[in-house]
Amino acid sequence: MKQALTALAALAATALGACTQQRQPGTDVEQRIDSLMAQMTIEEKVALCHAQSKFTSPGVPRLGVPELHYSDGPHGVRAEINWDDWGYAGWSNDSCTAFPALTALASTFNPELSFAYGDALGEESLYRGKDVILGPGVNIYRTPLNGRNFEYMGEDPYLASVMVVPYVKGVQRHGVATSVKHFALNNQELWRGHINVEVSDRALREIYLPAFRAAVVEGGAWTVMGAYNKLRGQHCCHNELLINKILKGEWAFDGAVITDWGGAHDTREAALNGLDIEMGSWTNGLTSSMALAYDNYYLARPYLDALRKGELPMSTLDDKVRRILRLMFRTSMSRRTHGIMGGARHSATARAVANEGIVLLKNSGGFFPLDTTTQMTIAVIGQNATRCMTLSGGSSELKARYEVSPLDGIRAQFPQARVVYSMGYAGGPSAYGREIPSPLDADSLLQAAVETARTADVVIFVGGLNKSHLQDCEAGDRVSLGLPFGQDRLIGELKAANPRLGVVLVSGNAVAMPWVDSVDGIVQAWYLGSEAGHAIADVLSGRVNPSGKLPISFPVALTDVGAHSFGPIAYPGDSINEKYLEDILVGYRWHDTRNIRPLFAFGHGLSYTTFALTDISLQSAQCTAAQTIRLTARLTNTGSRSGAEVVQVYVGKPDSKVTRAAKELKAFGKYRLDAGQSATVSIELPAERLAYFDEGSQQWTVEPGAYDIMVGTASDNIADTLRVDIR
């Protein structure tokens, strides 16, 4: 049977069930909203629809309606920003727990941990007096060059859908709204403010919208943040198709739509196409602003004037105000506790997520784990072993209460070892929107690192990207798949100096690895927040048996990625338009369908134990589109230590009448087993998940016929394939 993976997860599962129906609007609330609206002037109503400072929007003081307070925060509550400029306020009580970035959370394949994560984030948001936390991000990982991929939940829409729902519920149980972002197709930072995306209806519905739908329909998200870019010629923050037809129409979203900061561009479109709250206009996202511009926002005085002249219907305003008041009754006007900032429990949650999110990519000859009882010299090489990663990255940067570096974590968990450090390479200081080179001499750093490695018993290189401009950072994309700052050369020199070499990669994106065959072990560590060093050392030492799985594909070369296979018009576009020519074949769907071998496949992740997946069977080889496919398998821990494995179920449709990916993830479960233990795994797969979006009928359709049900532990590691017939 499925096992609870941690005590945190068990507690979270209980709370998850308890909170599902909390804070939903009832008749009484709607009546109170009616009463308030009847007493409000048109000026007071319009004021609710736009900001009054960088991170607040007004209430109605005359009627006791409080303002709304917002904060950036996909993986932690951002430090306080000044009222009317982008500087930090310098408070002494606005530090936070830095939780792992969402790529790491997705890598856990553990929805219970996602709830624990959201629960802790909600408590910290409440302590800081926030009503809306600007996250989570669920844009699909289309290209490894996207600067904000580290804020998102990977390349697969089903995985992102499963993981986002408990996050939303965990946060909102505290009366703090999530703002699911960026709706939609914000899949690059280059030209993000104006690039026009052309995408098929199938790709939009099957790849880019499912996680948003899950957050709204299943998670009950109270706000959604629009994206900067355009879809089919219209900005996403006031896009008729996205907001009116899909979000508020088909999905019956009853919350508020918020702009990304500076995402509004037109009063009439904003009024008619479903935008409710306009934030950050006349900024470029961070650095510039019109002083006290709030009355000039598109949904401020220009909107008021148009309403008074009868140029825009009053019904648009009343709908916005009703949604905003509903948001207030759920948050600032609800009964809430005082929240909790930091503490041992939040640190434990951050560490648990980091532990399960780390992915062991390669482990030749059992290189990892390293023996903590041996008196040896460990050479730790690389700037990322000491660089602060909670700062920078753009709007998601954090003022963490503390951050344990990989070097400090290794020193703490290897007390018998002599741990020596050399920087090896240097990126410049953290910066947003500009690249600052390091003043240090690269050759001198390399030579010093090689000499340090030469006399060590083992070398651990800690490198990757660094959340600065043109790395993993908002407002700019990466310029290549390769590692920056001469790291590839350094790894080669280290290997020549000492054959016992392991690599720890800190990044939110896939990177090229021309040295992959020469190193003994590779750990993908992501950005792990406050507990980064402890979590990395947990895995390197074997205190924790790694169980993370890749939520993205690692390509061998950039040309192996679907978005980069059709020339510049597919990525990054011509600066005006961009066409998603790979269509539904994103990530592993592209690799598997086009028979392109990845460097490391989606769903891949090794363990310090071994598992066998056997006796896979279907309850029935036939079912209808309204029924559920049920399968069982025997999962056995055949190794010498306890560990966790993710059983992944993929589906393909031979001889389909429409283009299909060779396989698509449609179910998964994570199971912990002791050494030698076996368990029967039962997985249910509703047949409706096999539907494709029919562009002709504009309906989801389950095509009758034979389907291949592929069960394994990675997209490229299928243990058995069964066939079911949908009638």
pLDDT band at 21 (very low <50, low <70, confident <90, very high): very low
Task: Identify the residue with better confidence: 290 or 547.
Answer: 547
- Among the residue ranges 73-87, 355-369, 569-583, the one predicted with the least confidence is 73-87
Nearest partner of 141 among 396, 481, 577, 508, judged by Cα:
508
pLDDT band at 1 (very low <50, low <70, confident <90, very high): very low
3-class DSSP assignment, residue 290: coil
**For residue 415, how many C-alpha atoms fall within 13 Å in the half-sphere facing its CB?**
0
User: For residue 672, which phi and psi values (nearest 5 degrees)?
Assistant: -105, 130
Q: Hey, what are 537's tokens?
A: 């050392």
3-class DSSP assignment, residue 226: strand
Q: List, for residues 348-385, the tens digit of each pLDDT value.
A: 999 999 999 999 999 999 999 999 999 999 999 999 99
Nearest partner of 401 among 116, 171, 120, judged by Cα:
120
Handedness of CA 567, 569, 572, 574 (dihedral sign): positive
Q: What percent of the chain is modeled with pLDDT above 70? A: 95
What mean pLDDT value characterizes the chain? 95
> Look-up: residue for tokens 């409080």?
66
Q: List, for residues 157-201, the tens digit of each pLDDT value.
A: 999 999 999 999 999 999 999 999 999 999 999 999 999 999 999
Look at residue 94 and tell me whether its pLDDT is greater than 90. yes
3-class DSSP assignment, residue 322: helix
Residues 6+ apart with CB under 8 A from 360: 368, 521, 522, 523, 524, 539, 546, 548, 605, 606, 607, 608
Rounded to an integer, what distance in angstroms lies between the CA atom of residue 192 and that of residue 70? 22
Give pLDDT, residue 430.
87
Q: What percent of the chain is modeled with pLDDT above 90? A: 92
42-83+95-330 topology per CATH: TIM Barrel (3.20.20)
Q: List, for residues 219-234, the tens digit of each pLDDT value.
A: 999 999 999 999 999 9
Active-site position among 260, 276, 560, 716: 260
Which whole-number Å values give the CA distances from 507 to 150, 484, 511, 638, in the listed order? 8, 12, 8, 32
Rounded to an integer, what distance in angstroms lies between the CA atom of residue 21 and that of residue 181? 23
Sort strands 611-618 and 418-422 into parallel, antiparallel or unpaired: unpaired
- 358-552: CATH architecture: 3-Layer(aba) Sandwich (3.40)
Q: Read off the pLDDT of each residue in 5-14 and give the average, rounded to a whole number.
A: 47
Give pLDDT, residue 85.
87
Give pLDDT, residue 128.
96
Cβ atoms within 10 Å, residue 154: 25
Domain ranges of the chain: 42-83+95-330, 358-552, 609-726
Q: Give start and end residues of each alpha helix (H) in 528-639.
A: 532-541, 588-593
Q: Hey, what are 405's tokens?
A: 């570096």
Which whole-number Å values give the CA distances from 236 to 216, 242, 244, 635, 697, in the listed order? 17, 7, 11, 45, 24
Of the options 2.60.40.10, 3.40.50.300, 2.40.50.430, 3.40.1190.20, the CATH number for the domain spanning 609-726 = 2.60.40.10
Q: Hey, what are 495's tokens?
A: 């290997």
Give pLDDT, residue 26.
76
**Residue pair 337/126 in contact by the 8 Å Cβ criterion:** yes
Helix 7-19 and helix 157-172: axis angle, to 10°?
Answer: 80
> Look-up: residue for tokens 């000492």?
498
Residue 615 appears among annotated catalytic residues:
no
pLDDT band at 574 (very low <50, low <70, confident <90, very high): very high
pLDDT band at 5 (very low <50, low <70, confident <90, very high): very low
pTM of the model: 0.96
Give pLDDT, residue 24.
60
